[in-house]
Structure 1
Amino acid sequence: MPTDSWINETLYEAWGQRFRVKRELARVQSPFQDIAIFESETHGRVMVLDGVIQITEGDEFVYQEMLAHVPLLAHGEAANVLIIGAGDGGVLRRVLQHPTVKRAVMVEIDGEVIRLSREFLPGIAGGAWNDPRANVIVGDGIDYVKKAPDASFDVIIVDSTDPIGVGEVLFTDDFYRNCARILTARGVVVNQCGVPFMQADELRDTSARRRAFFSHVTAYVAAVPTYVGGFMTLGWAGKDAGLTQIPLETIRQRASQAGIEGTTQYWTPEIHVGAFNLPPYIARHLPKA
């Protein structure tokens, strides 16, 4: 690819972002999606799926830290964690930072995402692929959740594309019904719910679906620069409402004991607690208590 070329994101029809490309590293049409990885001038290496920016080396830490550390530190004793999607390995890496975790099952439907991430984005997962606690499965997360035993996971983290194409089935009633079934008594499921300034229907519809199966449904926010449109929401559905109200000092103590505090670039105990305090333009799309 010539050095004066640009890649334009196609997520929104009338608004978007573009990157000037230094070098294209890979472009693969998998059985599920078009995958491109390129080297940018500003954000390091970038992965694009079906024309939509998924992850950049420059700001991946924001999304990954908040998707993993918030539910695990809120729970405090999560031993069994299920990750659906997240083929770049960044969520797996953060989950495995927690010494309470004895087993981390990661189910990614597109093996090409894993292969290309390991080859071209090795720093995102680090050594997570070789951790003996990790069980990485190339397969259908929907099918895995359907067949998993009752109460077999403490935390489920869903790192998917938006509810179109390959990611659509991860936003259905059947999926959330099975998530509730396989979670333990204090279990929680988190997943990305889009940028509500532009994708309010994603947060609203997903939250309403989860409300049928979980007693406590809310969201928390993270500001990821390359997910344009302001705050991104990370949907939260749990069986214990108290997990989103853990005192600041308890979160700090858990993070210190886990060796997390001081290793992050976005997450802090204060950010953790504050992330559940939603602006009204976001909160209004959640189910009423």
Structure 2
Amino acid sequence: MPPPAPPASVRGRKVLAEATSAYSKIRVQQRGTRRTLGFVRERGDEFVQTIVDLKDPDAPAHGYAEAMAAPFMVVDDPRELLVIGLGGGTLIRFFHSRAPAAHIDAVEIDPEVVRLAAEWFGVVPGPRLRVFTDDGVRFIAGEGDSYDIIWLDAYLDPGAPGTDNAGVPEELRGLGFLRRVKARLRPGGVAAFNIHHLTGYHEHVNAIAEVFPRVYVVRRPGSNEWIILALEQDTELDAEALRRRAAALDAPGTWGISFAALAEVTTPWQRSPT
């Protein structure tokens, strides 16, 4: 995957690009070597969706991306990966570089986001990456490949029609959609949901738990975004087995994160009242 386009560094803050689509107003800007893609709300504040440090663009510069690697502790040698929600492609670059045997499909509803991700973040299709400009709900409902891991990371302008307070499209919370996600997983597969801890969080995770036989939460200290792991099969994640898998992933030193730390904060979801 090519490196992001210049400049490699800027003085102060510089807006590199802005675009308005049918879904959002999108802004790409940079401070020093850190480049971001964010959605600008009507009141003028910005919801940052992507952070990339151009000194190492394949490494996660946003804490949630590290936790989104947790499914690799659950699925042995995943080869077919699907990411719903592209943004600036943080997860795509991370997984593309760390899982060299895997093929990745990325789905993004907003063509302007797809364009900006290619132009400013180097996220372009290649032998191991396909990018689909499509509605994630429609893509999941269609007939196509099944996947070892599916990530649900779709965000639009928070407060826009059809989204919750964090910008998650409401359709992605529905039981029908969640059942279709489960149906697109291979046996033993995992779906990972990036859910901001705002209004509706417990209802969302409870809905996931209605569909998937085992649900776990990865709670990174100090983060408002908790990653939900939904298992296709009714297989309990033994804490000691998780530690062993984490140690095996950490041993080569190629991921640049601590799976051991992720294993320690991965716990079963306890269904709670809404």
Query: Same-fold call, TM > 0.5?
Result: yes
Counterpart AA for 2:225: M
Q: Do the aligned partners of 1:89 and 1:114 also contact (CA within 8 Å) in 2?
A: no
SS in 1 for 2:219: strand
Instruction: Give ranges in structure 1 of 5+ residues lacking alignment.
Output: 1-20, 224-228
Cα separation, partners in 2 of 1:140 and 1:160, compared to 1, 3 Å: same
Structure 2 distance, partners of 1:244, 1:93, is: 30
Say whether the 8 Å CA contact 2:51–2:90 is kept in structure 1.
no
Report the AA paired with residue 66 of structure 2.
E
Contact 2:74 2:242 in 1 (8 A): no
Q: CA, structure 1 residues 177+27, in 2 after alignment: closer, same or farther (shift >3 Å)?
A: same
**Identical-residue share of aligned pairs (%):** 20
SS at match of 2:200: helix
Q: Which residue of 1 aligns with 2:186?
A: 184
Aligned in 2, Cα 1:263/1:156: closer, same or farther, shift over 3 Å?
A: closer
Which residue does the alignment assign to 2:195?
193
CA contact (8 A) 2:37 2:87 kept: no
2:216: which partner in 1? Answer: 218
SS at 1:222 equivalent:
coil
The CA deviation at 1:65 is 2.8
Which letter does structure 1 place at the counterpart of 2:65? Q
Any stretches of 5+ residues in structure 2 without a counterpart? 1-11, 41-45, 54-59
Structure-2 change in CA distance of 1:88 and 1:244 (3 Å): farther
Q: CA deviation at 1:100?
A: 4.6
- Give 3-state SS (helix, strand or coil) of 2:118's partner: helix
- Give the helix-richer structure, 1 or 2: 1
2:147 is aligned to 153
* CA 237–276 in structure 1, closer or farther in 2 if over 3 Å, else same: same
Structure 1 residue 276 corresponds to structure 2 residue 269: no
State the match for 2:206 in structure 1: 208
Change (3 A) 1:243 1:77: farther
C-alpha distance after superposition, 1:193-212 (max 9, x if no partner): 10x3xx1x432011111122
Contact kept? 1:219, 1:234, Cα under 8 Å: yes
Match status 1:234 vs 2:232: no
1:62 & 1:204 partners in 2: Cα distance?
22
Mapping of 1:24-173 within 5 angstroms? 24-40=15-31, 44-50=34-40, 51-58=46-53, 60-67=61-68, 69-96=69-96, 97-101=98-102, 103-122=103-122, 125=123, 129-149=124-144, 152-161=146-155, 163-164=163-164, 167-173=169-175
In 1, are the aligned partners of 2:17 and 2:27 still within 8 Å (CA)? yes
Cα distance between partner residues in 2 of 1:252 and 1:130? 32
Tell me how far apart the structure 1 counterparts of residues 110 and 101 of structure 2 sit (CA, whole Å).
Answer: 28
Q: 1:175 aligns to what SS in structure 2?
A: helix
Structure-2 change in CA distance of 1:75 and 1:255 (3 Å): farther
- Alpha carbon RMSD of aligned pairs, Å? 2.8
Query: What secondary structure is seen at the aligned counterpart in 2 of 1:209?
Result: helix
Deviation at 1:243, TM superposition (A): 4.3
* C-alpha distance after superposition, 1:58-106 (max 9, x if no partner): 5634222321x211232113221111012322212232322452x3111
Cα pair distance change 1:26/1:99, threshold 3 Å: closer
TM-score (norm 2): 0.76
Query: What amino acid sits opposite 2:263 in the alignment?
Result: V
1: CA distance, partners of 2:47 / 2:238: 31
Residues in 2 aligned to 1:146 and 1:28: alpha-carbon distance in whole angstroms: 29
